[in-house]
Amino acid sequence: MRATINDVAERAGVSIKTVSRVMNNEPSVRKPTQEKVLEAVKALNYQPNAAARNLAGTKSYALAFIYDNPNAYYIIDMQNGILSACNEEGFELLIHPCNAKSQDIDAELTAMIKRSRVSGLILTPPFSEMPSVISTLEKLDVKFVRILSGAGPSDDRSPCVFIDDHQAAFAITEHLIASGHQDIGFLCGDKEHNSSQERLMGYKAALKKNGIKINRSLILAGEYSFESGVKGAQKLLAKENKPTAIFASNDEIAAGALFAARLMNIAIPSQLAITGFEDSPFSRQTWPKLTTAEQPTSTIAQSAANLLIKATRNQSDDSEDAIFTPQLIIRESTEAN
């Protein structure tokens, strides 16, 4: 029979309320008492039921993951990272996809929060970058953590996890330049995401540092999708003065660019080098495999969830913001064996 909180309290010689306080990591419990309760928990293999806790009290033990991203690999990695933190701390996870372009997004989030009684939200771009969403959550007095493109520092509105897309894009572009390329095309991601702008600015900064004039005709707007990569590459490669390299804003775009190049009988990398960004499975499932920037999405998500759990316990401060810089991975799409 599964152990109950009553069994733990009886074995430890404390009240049920004290067991609950220990399980919630409340700092007011004396260490000797905490140790007795934890010993009882271990001996009985007690596992608190998060759903029951949510219904029984005023405190919620559920986090919500809010996203609008068509990349299934990204979503799965985010979910796995958040779940890892939730499982360690006894929290449940509510996954709530939204349409960032919806005019009713603020009302939708308000209804979801009141209906589900979550204790906090993890916001990914573009929601983490939308002032109206942030203001709505502040009015509801709910904790949240934002995953943002940039290098910080954050404001005081929430803990943040930063991804330094600018520096990673700079490194990718410098790699292409060091490989002998000067005419480098750039395929942008969705304009609603700050990551698109940060990656573009990193690309431009590397060109400027190396004395290469920015050719705006080689920079094309687009979306974070395979189809966008196909269309963008076809436009670039149809030019009379076509680029010798293409920097795609993510691996999905890069895979599309690679597909387009193959349809045009352009050899990779001898006639055209292609790079992606993020190190998603797209980068390893193509032939040749894509040079990219490794973005540890699952680790980023776990870090965000840990920050949020600490915030729900009033144990966090702004100094705990985390910063990740995707690291360059050189593969066959830019360098021949």
Q: Is 177 found in the same domain as 291?
A: yes
Lowest mean pLDDT among 46-50, 70-74, 223-227: 46-50
Q: Is 212 found in the same domain as 109?
A: no
Q: Count other Cβ atoms within 10 Å, centred on residue 45.
A: 8
The answer to whether position 216 is within a domain reads yes
Question: What residue numbers bound the domain in which 247 lies?
Answer: 165-295
Predicted confidence at residue 215, as pLDDT, reads: 97
- DSSP SS3 for 96: strand
d(CA 286, CA 154): 37
Q: Which residue has the higher pLDDT, 116 or 163?
A: 163
Q: Is the dihedral of CA 143, 145, 146, 152 positive or negative?
A: positive
Stretch (H or E) spanning 329: strand 327-329
pLDDT at 234 over 90: yes
The average confidence (pLDDT) of the chain is 89
Q: Decide if 170 contacts 144 (C-beta within 8 A).
A: no
pLDDT at 56 over 50: no
The answer to whether position 336 is within a domain reads no
Provide the H-helix boundaries in 101-193.
105-116, 131-139, 165-178
Listing DSSP states for 29-66 in one string gives S-HHHHHHHHHHHHHHT----HHHHHHHSSS--EEEEE
Confidence of residue 274 (pLDDT cuts 50, 70, 90): very high
For the domain that residue 19 is a member of, what is the CATH number?
A: 1.10.260.40
Provide the H-helix boundaries in the chain.
5-12, 16-23, 31-44, 50-56, 72-89, 105-116, 131-139, 165-178, 194-209, 226-237, 251-263, 281-285, 297-312
Predicted confidence at residue 55, as pLDDT, reads: 42
The answer to whether position 331 is within a domain reads no
Q: Is 94 found in the same domain as 238?
A: no
- Burial of 117-146, coded b for 16+ CB within 10 Å and e otherwise, reads ebbbbbbbbbbbbbeebbebbeeeebbbbb
pTM, entire model: 0.80
- For 118-129, what is the mean pLDDT? 92
Q: Is 220 found in the same domain as 101?
A: no
Q: Of 251, 285, 248, 246, whose CA–CA distance to 269 is shortest? A: 246
- For 265-292, what is the mean pLDDT? 95
Q: Is 149 found in the same domain as 68?
A: yes
Token pair of 101, please?
Answer: 């372009």
Q: Is 125 found in the same domain as 41?
A: no
Q: What is the DSSP letter of 90?
A: T
The answer to whether position 269 is within a domain reads yes
Predicted confidence at residue 18, as pLDDT, reads: 83
For the domain that residue 239 is a member of, what is the CATH number?
A: 3.40.50.2300
d(CA 68, CA 71): 9
Q: Is 253 found in the same domain as 136?
A: no
The answer to whether position 211 is within a domain reads yes
- Alpha carbons within 13 A on the beta-carbon side of 238: 8
Predicted confidence at residue 216, as pLDDT, reads: 96
Q: Is 117 found in the same domain as 70?
A: yes
Q: Is 246 found in the same domain as 267?
A: yes
The answer to whether position 330 is within a domain reads no
In this structure, the chain runs to a length of 337
Q: Is 112 found in the same domain as 102?
A: yes
Q: Is 158 found in the same domain as 122?
A: yes
The answer to whether position 334 is within a domain reads no
Predicted confidence at residue 302, as pLDDT, reads: 97
Q: Is 290 found in the same domain as 250?
A: yes
Q: Under 8 Å CB-to-CB from 333, ≥6 apart: which residues?
A: 254, 258, 268, 269, 273, 274, 275, 286, 288, 289, 290, 291
d(CA 287, CA 170): 25
Q: What percent of the chain has pLDDT over 90?
A: 64
Number of domains in the chain: 3
Q: Decide if 202 contacts 173 (C-beta within 8 A).
A: yes
pLDDT at 284 over 70: yes
- DSSP SS3 for 147: strand
The answer to whether position 206 is within a domain reads yes
